[in-house]
Amino acid sequence: MRILVTGKNGQLGRSIHKLVNTDNKIDNNQSSDDFIFVGREELDLSSESSINHYFDNNDKFDIIINCAAHTQVDKAEEEQELASQINHLAVKQLSSIANKQQAKLIHISTDYVFNGESDKPYIETDTPNPINVYGKTKLAGEKALQVVMPTNALIIRTSWVYSEYGNNFVSTMLRLGKERDELNVVSDQIGSPTYATDLAGAVLEIIKNKEFRESDQTTQIYHYSNEGELSWHEFAKEIFKIAKIDCKVNSIATQQYPTPAKRPKNTLMNKDKIAETFSVNIPDWKESINTCVSILKEQQ
Ligand X SMILES: NC(=O)c1ccc[n+]([C@@H]2O[C@H](COP(=O)([O-])OP(=O)(O)OC[C@H]3O[C@@H](n4cnc5c(N)ncnc54)[C@H](OP(=O)(O)O)[C@@H]3O)[C@@H](O)[C@H]2O)c1
Residue nearest to ligand X (CB): 10
Report in angstroms how near the CB of residue 34 gets to ligand X at its nearest: 21
By C-beta, is 108 or 133 nearer to ligand X? 108
Mutual angle of helices 232-243 and 169-179, in 10-degree steps: 60
Residues that bind ligand X (CB under 6 A): 7, 9-13, 39-40, 43-46, 67-71, 86, 108, 110-111, 138, 158-161, 166
Report in angstroms how near the CB of residue 290 gets to ligand X at its nearest: 19
| Annotated catalytic residue within 54, 122, 134, 165 | 134
* 134 is a catalytic site residue: yes
By C-beta, is 10 or 177 nearer to ligand X? 10
Report in angstroms how near the CB of residue 68 gets to ligand X at its nearest: 4
Report in angstroms how near the CB of residue 118 gets to ligand X at its nearest: 17
Amino acid at residue number 23: D
Report in angstroms how near the CB of residue 251 gets to ligand X at its nearest: 21
| Distance between CA atoms of residues 136 and 123, nearest Å | 18
| Distance between CA atoms of residues 233 and 223, nearest Å | 23
By C-beta, is 28 or 291 nearer to ligand X? 291
Active site residues: 134
